[in-house]
Structure 1
Amino acid sequence: MATIVEQIVSREIEAVIIYESPNVIAFADHDPINFGHLLICPILPYESLIDLPELVHAEIQQVAKDLYARLVTKYKPDGISFIQNNGKCNELDHYHLHIVPRFDDDRFGWVSSNIGVQNIEVLRTSLAGL
């Protein structure tokens, strides 16, 4: 079955497309955190960051940089967040990079686990051999 992104690329699903090339597409998120929330995706259904060919990854990063500047000009956000999920956290089964204009009162937040602040030695041990 085709991914949602493939269905957008083939125009089976309607989307507000902001950018499209032979390798990359960017479009509005249909359930935005804020107006201007975009997804940047490869045309082909690569599932994760590890799967992306360097050329496609480089174009995604260039598009992200360009859209960042355009979103700042248009929306004047307090910041911009980039979010990219892999594995079970990737609900689309197709690599996508979220770019989200952020505002002080948008209530979008980071919720972490309850492990709490760690001292440097615990962090050093947990990352040993990485």
Structure 2
Amino acid sequence: MPACVFCAIVAGEAQASVVLDEPDFLAFLDVRPLFHGHVLLVPREHVETLPDLPAGLRDGFLEAAQRIAVAVKDALGAQGSFVAMNNTVSQSVPHLHLHVVPRTKGDGLRGFFWPRTTYADGEADRVAASLRGALDS
């Protein structure tokens, strides 16, 4: 089985634009975001799907997701957010991850055919720093 890229990010062996770094969870920008500020929240422990998440981590996971949802509004001026996760089907990395995507009315996100974008050089770090600031306040 190939190594888990999210475990490598958690271990500091792979680069990521981190927005939340806590004992049980790590959140970082998606490298292929739907919109700038698209965050992935993962448990540090390798857990493949939501049903596998230990009971002791459930409340903290959702609480971190709530804080990130507020941060994308406060830091990026989004009107709201789209929060979702896949379990096995369409799960591109077999490590539980929750998507928090900033949303604005008329942003073009429709159905399940979502446009992907990229960050310009240095832009991901600026967006991540902005989100970190919102999470720290």
Query: TM-score per shorter chain, which class?
Result: 0.7 to 0.9
CA apart distance, 1:72? 0.9
Counterpart in the other structure of 2:66 = 65
Structure 1 runs of 4+ off > 6 angstroms?
A: none
Per-residue Cα deviation, 1:66-95 (whole angstroms, up to 9, x for no partner): 111121111221321001000132110000
- Paired residues in the alignment total 112
Matching residue of 1:32? 33
For residues 77-123 of structure 1, the C-alpha deviation after alignment (integer angstroms, 9 at most, x for no partner) is 132100100013211000000000012232222149xxxxxxxxxxx
Distance 2:45 2:112 in 1: 32
State the partner residue of 1:109: 110
In 1, the alpha carbon distance for the partners of 2:25 and 2:8 equals 14
Aligned to 2:55: 54
The structure whose Rg is larger is 1
Number of the residue aligned with 1:94:
95
Task: Give the TM-score of the pair, scaled to structure 1.
Answer: 0.79
Question: What 5-or-longer segments of structure 2 have no aligned partner?
Answer: 114-137
Give the aligned partner of residue 121 of structure 2.
none
Contact 1:38 1:100 in 2 (8 A): yes
Q: Distance in 2 between matches of 1:4 and 1:57?
A: 22
What letter is aligned with 1:39? Answer: L
Where does the alignment leave 5 or more consecutive residues of structure 1 unmatched? Answer: 113-130
2:69–2:80 contact (8 Å) kept in structure 1:
no
1:110 to 1:9, Cα distance in 2 relative to 1, 3 A: same
Return the letter of the residue paired with 2:37. Answer: G
Matched to 2:11, the amino acid is S
Alpha-carbon shift at residue 2 of structure 1 (Å)? 2.4
Relative contact order (C-alpha < 8 Å, sep 6+): which is higher? 2
Question: What is the identity percentage for the equivalent residue pairs of Structure 1 and Structure 2?
Answer: 28
Quick one: distance in 2 between partners of 1:29 and 1:49?
A: 19
